[in-house]
Structure 1
Amino acid sequence: MNSSLLLFKDHTPQFKSLSKTEQDDIENQCKSLRTLRESFTQDLVKNLKKIDENFQELRQAISIDIQNVGLHYFKDIIKALNDCLDRNDNNFNLKQKELADSEKQLANELERIGQNIFDVRIGRTNWLKTPRKYKPLDTHHINLPESISLFDDFLLKSGGHSGGWRPEDHQLFLLLKSKHKTEQVVELLHQKCPDITKDVVLEHDEWYEKYTKLLQDKKLAVQKWKQSKKSGQSLSVGNINEIMSRSDTPSSNPSTGRIGKYKRMNEEVKKQIAEWKLAKSLRTKEEQEKSKQEQEKKLELERGKKEMKKTR
């Protein structure tokens, strides 16, 4: 009996009762499995060797390519990109400076034109020969309603009449606000404009409530201010001439000098000019707001018609 069979018998005494034929079958099966294992092992070794050979060939090819190209090639590319970024940055700074200078020049020109227009209205004709810098309106001695300055400051700090939003997005907000409650406005606006989060819509709704309140307060203050000024004397060229003519009339009080008369006349003229400018500015703002509201209503109607066509 061969060694494998002896080993089998030594380690598996429970099979001592097997017949000779059964033992031979088991031994043949073991040999067959051993042969398969050895064949699988040999194939696996061959495959691993082949993979290693392919890897070595690939590594050698890559090494040759890198040596042929050289690191200086990549350095040149990076340097070119860096130079391009530097040029763009310098060009941007120069363009920004040019635009800032242009903005400053335009602002000065608008101030000068505004002063020239006022000079023409009050009868001055030498403004073309001697242009002068426009001075801001001095309203410290005028009882300006606080609601007006509060509303103007609010607009400056919060992004104008649209609250810093794009005009078309704000128009959509107003359209939805006129038809739905706040919760529905938040959901619908976020659906139509996914880039606007719900928190941003809620903040804009709070801004709009404050905007509406301040605007209403300003309108009431302007109306009261107009009514209070109706009983007073309005500014005109005749009023100014009348004041100047009164200043030329000899004073009944000998102790009153010419300098005092001119000072009083100057203060009175300044006050009436300031009130006239303020009234004109308020009228202009009212007209602009009225025009803006009409434009908003028109856009809302057009948007509503488009939505109705889509739903059909």
Structure 2
Amino acid sequence: MAALATAVAAAAGGQQNDSYFSTGGSGQQRQNWKMKAEHAKKAEFVRIAEKLRTQLTNIEKDKNGHLYNRKSDSRVEYSMLEELEHKMTVNRKTEKTKILQQLSKIRNNVKKLQQHLEDVKHTSEFVDKLKEMMEEIENAINAFKEEQRQTYEQLLKDEKTAVNELSVFEKKVELWVLSSSTREKVLKLPSARISVDKTLENHLPEEVVEFERFLQRTGGRQGGWDDYDHQNFLKVWTKHKGRLSYMDEALEYLCGRTKKEVEQHDKWYREYLILQERKKESIKKWKETQQQEREGNLKKKEKSERMLKKEWLQHEEAQKQKAEEERKRQQEAIEAWKKQKAIAFAMEQASQLKLEEEMKKKQLKERQRQCHMKLLLERYTMQKKEKEELEKLEKEKREETKKEERKKIAAAEISKFQERDLRKLQRKIQQKQVKEAEKQEKEQRLAKLREKVHVRAARDPSRLRRPTRGWEERTKAASPPAPPPLHLPRRAVPAWRRGL
């Protein structure tokens, strides 16, 4: 029996080894490659995380040095930011502890599952318990992933909103800084020459540059005046069409201005109009020259396009010839490939037939081996069944002998019990007879006593009206009667006792 089991195991092991050597090598290499790739990904992730952590530490140091310096003038304003940062740090720490708790819970569940897998039991309850634990771990991991995904999405949205808000604030601050700097320069240095950007000087006409310089030098399009005074000046100046008769009326409208200031502003405004007109004429000329240059460029472009089209047609013709030659060469190569493939197909069919014959031989050997194993198994099962039947018959015989012995013992015990019960029954009958004899004697004795004390009295209705024996005895022993009182209250005597 042991030899047969060893032979079956050896055959099964041979088949498994054959299948392993046929498919297991590549699977092992693929698994090693996947493990190496996963290790490389983990190492890269750890490296990036360490780099980001270092950058975060440096940024926090710079921020703390700039914002939270106690000698800073804006310490009061930055204290609000410090409180907000402290609150966000506390929230981040609480969220970190929460995530660590969730991860530790998942890790404990995985460890429990591993401990259960070490002691495997082939029962349905054990399988259901393992399934329930795996589902619980999977649900916890999925819930953790979903929560982290939502958190990251919300953080990305907040980051995008913050970046947009910061860009808007930066633009506002830049505009505010530019406007404040130009205003300060105009107010403090009205006669200073402000240099125009080099790009404007290089690309714009000279009149435009001169006009811009004039505006920068004299305080903008209002000549350094505010909007209210300048508008009143323009109203009076246009009313009198620039004649000197407007001066008195202008002084009436411009209360805070002197005559000299008005004359200077009039001089500035006349120069402003002259330079503006020159600027318009130069821009007009510049546009005309640009239009002429554009038309010349269009003509050159058309000419170059015609040349390119001609070259493209020549190139296309050459490409067609080349493609035709390439097609012929490919056709020849395809024909040669078809012949080579037909030869290879014939060789492959021959090798396939040879392999099929070898496979048939192997299958035949395998079937013979399986038949042999089947016969061995059937013989083993027959021997086992015969042995079991013999053991069963021996067991039945032993049980029958035991039953007969039990019957003999039970019969002997039953006879003993019957004798004991008979003795008990005889004893009870004797006791009952003794009790009945005693009872009869007692009844006879009681009857004799009754005969002795039995009184046969005749019926005497007058006996009810006579006094009792006790009353007679009481009246005999009574003292002599006392003299009757004069008046004694007494109760009424009933009619049936009167005269007694």
Q: Could you state the TM-score of these two structures normalised by the residue count of structure 1?
A: 0.32
| Bigger-Rg structure (1/2) | 2
Higher-helix-fraction structure = 2
Structure number with higher relative contact order (C-alpha < 8 Å, ≥ 6 residues apart): 1
